């Protein structure tokens, strides 16, 4: 049977700030003014350092010792992940839940490749928080068949968080509870986050953000774990991210144990057939059920009261909470996946365990990365592409130390300015990539929008003092459609009297190429002289007015008009044409970018003589 830590999370999940807030609230409630105004109190704001699950109870079962995937010989033809997988039942993950974890990993890899989020980490958290959505008790869309609720966060054993959602997510209008497969508290789901609208996400594309849906919850959890430019392949960032869920060293070790276990292999089981965990931490006085979680109206778990006679070693408390974007790792010491406990072996205080008689290897502390002193642009050519297409060259920089040697493990954030509609995958305006062994950080493919012109992309070393690098980029206009014929749609003679305008919409033309409609063709209209060899812009006769002009320039004659374009049917109606006091026959020439022209005659009659 899987082992359990014989420790209990009492108020360790609540930070010093939470404790101070609770004490202040209790003190105020005992004063006359506090008692008088109790009914009028507004809900207390959730402390900024409150963990994702509110520091609620969690499953403490550890994975078994044997690997889910048996070792293979060198002649085994199966590729990784193929074939029949055998092993302990704990390695089975319900199909829909597993699909949600993998989908979240894929989406975050595209939007934030520098995070390096493995789906097995989501599985480890999902196992500890909800037993993989209670063994996969979800419908076809990934929504839990019954609510999965944590204990009431009323300050008795856990943080005190008064209701923030009116019971919308947790059904509780007095205090918040952690909700769903990944156990988000309502305030975290709907507040804060990258856009300030909460960490909630729509992982299944149904237009809703539901913490009870495993696709939504898994994507939200992955987004949180990657916040602040974290690189989860770096142990310090990994520990910091997990501690953001629950500020407990025991919680961290339990999650990392399952993370390591799933990385050695796992397999898919039908929904509802997953193994349910049995043991839970922090069950004393924490909720409506001994388990500290409620699933519908049924409670499960291994609750231990205060009569437990097992010795309880002191906890290792984190130095401080891990928050998205924070620079600290939020705890002391270093960890390897699985922590300092051997999976499947009960913990006995003061007695180290050695499975199969083999000594447990001493974890090596993570190597402190070299500090980069510079970011260097790779390549000296500006990025160029056409509107609506991908840039063929990806933005790339190199991190180097003072000696010019490459520095690995540096998170580099690429940021687009507001002046462009170019975007990274997923419509992102920023992306963070970690440098490899060669010191290179390569941004994902950049897609140009419709807006043309120059802009500057900036690369910054996150949390480092190395100067930023600017990368210039240009978006060019799309090539104009080809035209081999311009024709007028009417053969009616174009006439007007001097001092008056031609009829509205008097000139309409059609553009074609090889007999087919030519839409979106730029046209330039110019009033020209009648010199057959060298026609130039005329300085008298018919003219246009600048539609953009204002004030005294509004009526100023304009004899070359640009910015005209044929519509979807290849048609173009020219703006109104005016005349001055000069009678005669004048010429209007229409020209396309590829040199196709059409010349029209405009006849201006002299005004009638007055008696």
Range with the poorest average pLDDT among 238-242, 387-391, 408-412, 414-418: 408-412
Residue that wins the pLDDT comparison between 541 and 166: 541
242 three-state secondary structure = helix
pLDDT top residue among 604 and 188: 604
CA distance 536 to 55: 80
Q: How far is CA 168 from CA 165, 211, 212, in A?
A: 5, 11, 12
pLDDT at residue 56 in the model: 58
Say if CB 383 and CB 412 are below 8 A apart: no
In the block, tokens 């509107």 appear at 387
**pLDDT tens by residue, 466-503:** 899 999 999 998 887 899 999 999 999 999 999 999 99
Query: Residue 41: is its pLDDT beyond 60?
Result: no
**SS3 category, 23:** helix
pLDDT class of 65 with cuts at 50, 70, 90: low
* Mean pLDDT (whole number) for 366-383: 75
Question: What single string gives the DSSP state of each residue in 313-324?
Answer: PPP---SS---T
507, pLDDT greater than 90: yes
Amino acid 565: pLDDT = 94
Is the predicted pLDDT of residue 339 greater than 80, yes or no? Answer: no
Q: What is the pLDDT of residues 210-228, one digit of tens each?
A: 999 999 999 999 999 998 8
**Percentage of the chain exceeding pLDDT 90:** 44
Given pLDDT bands bounded at 50, 70 and 90, which one contains residue 549? Answer: confident
pLDDT at 300: 33
User: Which DSSP helix (H) or strand (E) runs through 300?
Assistant: none
Q: Is the pLDDT of residue 302 over 90?
A: no
Q: 44 pLDDT band (50/70/90 cuts)?
A: low
pLDDT digits (tens, 9 = 90+) for 86-134: 457 888 999 999 999 999 999 999 888 889 999 999 999 999 999 999 9
Q: What per-residue confidence (pLDDT) applies to 314? A: 39
Identify the pLDDT of residue 33.
36
Flag the least confident range among 173-187, 236-250, 281-295, 538-552.
281-295
Specify the higher pLDDT residue, 452 or 38: 452
Query: What mean pLDDT comes out for the span 259-266?
Result: 90
Question: Residue 522: what pLDDT?
Answer: 93
pLDDT at 24 over 50: no
The tokens describing 458, both together, are 């900036």
Check residue 61 and give its pLDDT: 76
**441/74: higher pLDDT:** 441
The HSE-up count of residue 308 (CA atoms within 13 Å, CB side) is 16
Helix axes 119-136, 214-225, angle to 10 degrees: 150
Is residue 463's pLDDT more than 80? no
> How much is the pLDDT for 4?
32
Nearest to 582 by CA among 543, 555, 525, 532: 543
Q: What pLDDT is stored for residue 405 in this prediction?
A: 92
Task: Output the CA–CA distances (angstroms, integers) from residue 107 to 45, 102, 118, 142, in the order listed.
Answer: 32, 9, 11, 17
Q: What is the mean pLDDT of residues 514-541?
A: 94
Band (pLDDT 50/70/90 cuts) for residue 255 is very high
pLDDT of residue 281: 63
Residue range 19-48: average pLDDT?
39
Give the DSSP per-residue string, 471-531: EEEEEEPPPPPP-SEEEES-----EEETTSPPPTT--EEEEEETTEE--S-EEEEEEE---
Gap between the Cα atoms of 211 and 502, Å rounded: 66
Tokens of 266: 């796992």
Q: Rounded to an integer, what distance in angstroms lies between the CA atom of residue 86 and that of residue 72?
A: 12
Average pLDDT over residues 70-93: 52
Q: What is the mean predicted confidence (pLDDT) over 233-249? A: 88
Confidence grade of residue 340 (pLDDT, cut at 50, 70, 90) = very low
Q: Label residue 158 by pLDDT band (50, 70, 90).
A: confident
The mean-pLDDT minimum among 25-29, 398-402, 458-462 falls in 25-29
In sequence order, which residues have a C-beta less than 8 Å from that of residue 364 and are 6 or more positions away? 336
Q: Please state, rounded to an integer, the average pLDDT across all residues of the chain.
A: 76
What share of the chain in percent tops pLDDT 70? 72
With a cut of 70, say whether residue 342 has pLDDT above it. Answer: no
pLDDT for the residue numbered 602:
97
- pLDDT exceeds 70 at position 193: yes
pLDDT at 68: 52
What number of other Cβ atoms are within 10 A of residue 308's Cβ? 11
């Amino acid at each position: 049977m899987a082992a359990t830590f014989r420790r209990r999370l009492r108020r360790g999940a609540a930070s010093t700030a939470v404790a101070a807030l609770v004490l202040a609230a209790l003190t105020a409630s005992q004063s006359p003014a506090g008692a008088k105004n109790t009914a009028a109190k507004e809900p207390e704001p959730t402390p900024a350092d409150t963990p994702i699950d509110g520091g609620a109870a969690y499953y403490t079962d550890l994975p078994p010792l044997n690997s889910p995937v048996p070792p293979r010989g060198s002649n085994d033809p199966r590729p990784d992940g193929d074939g029949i997988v055998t092993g302990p039942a704990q390695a089975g993950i319900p199909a829909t839940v597993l699909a949600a974890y993998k989908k979240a990993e894929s989406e975050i890899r595209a939007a934030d490749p520098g995070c390096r989020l493995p789906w097995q980490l989501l599985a480890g958290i999902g196992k500890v928080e909800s037993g993989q959505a209670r063994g996969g008790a979800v419908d076809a869309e990934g929504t839990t068949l019954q609510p999965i609720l944590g204990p009431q966060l009323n300050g008795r054993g856990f943080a005190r968080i008064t209701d923030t959602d009116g019971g919308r997510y947790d059904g509780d209008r007095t205090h918040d509870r952690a909700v769903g497969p990944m156990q988000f508290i309502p305030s975290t789901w709907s507040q804060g986050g990258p856009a300030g609208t909460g960490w909630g996400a729509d992982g299944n594309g149904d237009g809703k953000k539901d913490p009870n849906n495993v696709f939504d919850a898994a994507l939200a959890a992955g987004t949180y774990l990657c916040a602040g430019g974290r690189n989860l392949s770096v142990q310090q960032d990994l520990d910091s991210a997990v501690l953001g869920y629950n500020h407990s060293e025991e919680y961290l070790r339990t999650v990392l144990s399952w993370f390591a276990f799933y990385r050695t292999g796992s397999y898919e089981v039908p929904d509802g057939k997953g193994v349910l965990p049995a043991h839970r931490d922090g069950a004393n006085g924490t909720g409506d059920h001994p388990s500290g979680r409620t699933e519908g109206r049924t409670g499960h778990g291994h609750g231990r009261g205060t009569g437990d006679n097992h010795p309880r070693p002191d906890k290792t408390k984190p130095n401080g909470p891990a928050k998205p974007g924070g620079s600290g790792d939020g705890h002391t010491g270093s960890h390897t996946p699985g922590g300092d406990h051997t999976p499947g072996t009960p913990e006995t205080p003061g007695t180290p365990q050695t499975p199969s008689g083999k000594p447990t290897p001493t974890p090596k502390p993570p190597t402190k990365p070299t500090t980069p002193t510079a970011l260097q642009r790779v390549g000296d050519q500006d990025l160029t592409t056409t509107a609506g297409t991908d840039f063929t060259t990806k933005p790339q920089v190199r991190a180097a130390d003072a000696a010019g040697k490459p520095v690995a493990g540096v998170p580099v954030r690429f940021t687009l300015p507001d002046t462009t509609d170019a975007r990274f995958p997923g419509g992102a305006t920023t992306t963070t990539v970690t440098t490899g062994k060669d010191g290179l950080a390569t941004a994902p493919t950049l897609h140009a929008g419709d807006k043309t012109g120059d802009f500057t992309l900036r690369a910054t070393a996150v949390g480092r003092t190395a100067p930023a690098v600017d990368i210039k980029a240009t978006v060019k206009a799309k090539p104009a459609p080809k035209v081999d014929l311009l024709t007028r749609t009417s053969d009616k003679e174009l006439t007007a009297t001097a001092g008056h305008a031609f009829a509205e919409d008097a000139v309409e033309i059609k553009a074609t190429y090889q007999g087919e409609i030519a839409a979106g063709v730029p046209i330039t209209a110019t009033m020209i002289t009648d010199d057959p060899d060298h026609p130039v812009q005329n300085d008298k006769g018919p003219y246009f007015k600048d539609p953009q002009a204002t004030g005294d320039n509004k009526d100023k004659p304009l004899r070359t008009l640009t910015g005209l374009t044929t519509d979807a049917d290849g048609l173009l109606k020219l703006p109104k044409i005016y005349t001055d006091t000069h009678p005669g026959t004048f010429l209007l020439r229409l020209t396309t970018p590829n040199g196709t022209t059409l010349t029209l005659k405009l006849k201006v009659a002299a005004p009638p003589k007055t008696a």
